[in-house]
Amino acid sequence: MGIREGLTMKSNKLGPEGQMKCHRCGSIMAYEKYYGLEGEFWGLRCVCCGDIIDQIILENRDSMTLGAPRL
């Protein structure tokens, strides 16, 4: 099932325990639910600097790193 594979990839990307260190300050990130254009989704918010990371941002960051030239 494609859906099942997608969920597995997401959980792997966010870490086995849903914990991830902030890429800016290295602090612990809190797992929180947000509401966007496509409905609710889960993201990570840094408890220290307030930086927010979600799956969409991660995917965009990956594609930008691979393809688009820097501006």
Shortest separation between residue 71's beta carbon and Zn ion, angstroms: 24
Quick one: which segment of 4-12, 41-49, 52-60, 63-71 binds Zn ion (CB under 5 A)?
A: 41-49
Q: Which two tokens stand for residue 37?
A: 């254009």
**Sheet with 52-54: strands ordered across:** 29-36, 39-46, 52-54
C-beta of 14 vs 22, nearer to Zn ion = 22
* Per CB under 5 A, 48 contacts Zn ion: yes
Q: How far apart are CA 55 and CA 4, in angstroms?
A: 16
Shortest separation between residue 8's beta carbon and Zn ion, angstroms: 27
Find where tokens 């914990």 sit.
19
Shortest separation between residue 48's beta carbon and Zn ion, angstroms: 5
